[in-house]
Amino acid sequence: MFSQGSFSIAVTERLSGTRLDVAVAMQIGTCSRSVAGALIREGRIRVQGEIKKPGYRLKAGESISGDIPAPVPIDCAPESITLQILHEDEDIIVIDKPAGMVVHPAPGHSSGTLVNAILYHCPHLSGIGGKVRPGIVHRLDKDTSGVLLVAKTAAAQAHLADQFKNRTLQKTYLALVAGNMESASGSIELSIGRHPVDRKKMSVFSAKSRDAKTLWRVREAFSAASLLEVEIKTGRTHQIRVHCAALHHPVLGDSVYGSRKADSRLSCVTPFIVRQMLHAWKIVFTHPQTGERMQMVSPVPSDMADILYRLKSLT
């Protein structure tokens, strides 16, 4: 296993046909596929001395060479922000993220993020996972609440990244959507990519898309809305929101993918919905150090519970 510095990998028959970025991530345990892809695009990782694309398919007998740079100091400053911690040990920390909190710094959100808070709580994370995403192995949208898993060591991050890549980690959400579903459960298998016109949005009509699978079941039905328990088998950007909108049952409060035409039956609850009603309820994963299968659950937040109470009063 490499940490940083120069390396060389001989492409065997087993690696033949594998994407370059995938092969590097497989062979270098502390280098995720996304990091490998970035280094390949920068020309820091080459095949036979030549610059290739991350998706280049390797051939037996070729040689991959490059270097893993030392961790870049984080520009993000630690901030004393209260965190709701569901679990913490030497390897991981599991956070119950509130709606409205941005996960990592981005233009317009240089402070007050989850990363700012984590760096204050865990000051030794500065070399884990890159410049602005220390220990972050997945993310939640700003207005999505719920459970979020963070690695505290490079080994833990690599292990968790593999679980996401191999889909051995299970994420279940609660989504309050418009209308009543046509059946008690179902699946959505529509590929997702960038919207053909609005590049800030995702779409099931993109020319360049990736496979996406969402499983859902009705947890509770109301007169004009449904509470769904949703499990995502892939981790595409805005996946649940895009898939629910594609079924014509958008997540209530979703200003991006939601319907502009309000259902009159929901008129007494919509004024109280100030964000998308999507909550990361449960995550099941294998602990990177102990090998124990763990389950973390985030209680339904108060704003979502209030909307559910109001909907129940209408039935």
Note the pLDDT tens digit of each residue in 98-114: 999 999 877 677 789 99
Beta strands across the sheet bearing 202-203: 202-203, 192-194, 209-210
Residue 1 has pLDDT above 50, yes or no: no
Q: Is residue 2's pLDDT more than 50?
A: no
Asked whether residue 32 carries a pLDDT value surpassing 90, the answer given is no
Q: End-to-end CA distance of the chain, in Å? A: 58
Determine which one of 21, 96, 141, 254 is catalytic: 141
User: Mean pLDDT across the stretch 237-244?
Assistant: 96
DSSP string, the chain: ---SEEEEEE--TTTTT-BHHHHHHHHSTTS-HHHHHHHHHTTSEEETTB---TTPBP-TT-EEEEEEPPPPPP-PPP------EEEE-SSEEEEEEPTT--SS-BTTBSSSSHHHHHHHH-GGGTTSS-SS-TTB-S---TT-EEEEEEESSHHHHHHHHHHHHHT-SEEEEEEEEES--SSSEEEE---EEE-SS-TTSEETT-SSEE---EEEEEEEE-SSEEEEEEEESS--TTHHHHHHHHTT-PBTT-TTTS-SS--GGGTTTGGG--S--EEEEEEEEE-TTT--EEEEE-PPPHHHHHHHHHHHHH-
Could you tell me the two tokens for 16?
Answer: 């033949």
Alpha-carbon span 269 to 267, nearest angstrom: 6
Give pLDDT tens digits for 208-236.
888 999 999 999 999 899 999 999 999 89
For 202, half-sphere exposure in the C-beta direction (CA atoms, 13 angstrom radius) is 20
Which domains are seen in the chain, by residue range?
Answer: 5-68 (3.10.290.10), 85-162 (3.30.2350.10), 170-314 (3.30.2350.10)
- The amino acid sitting at 246 is A
Of the pLDDT bands very low, low, confident and very high (cuts 50, 70, 90), residue 33 is: confident
User: Phi then psi for 260, rounded to 5 degrees?
Assistant: -80, -20
Considering only residues 18 and 1, tell me which one the structure prediction assigns the higher pLDDT. Answer: 18
- For the chain, the average pLDDT equals 89
Q: Are 165 and 226 in contact (CB under 8 A)?
A: no
Cα 216 versus chain centre, distance:
18
Residue 304 pLDDT grade (very low, low, confident, very high; cuts 50, 70, 90): very high
Rounded CA-CA distance 112/114 in Å is 7
Average pLDDT over residues 128-151: 84
Pairwise CA distance, residues 309 & 315, whole Å: 10
Q: Which residues pair with 147 in a beta bridge?
A: 96
For 261, phi then psi, to 5°, come to -95, 110
Catalytic (active site) residue 89: no
pTM for the model: 0.76
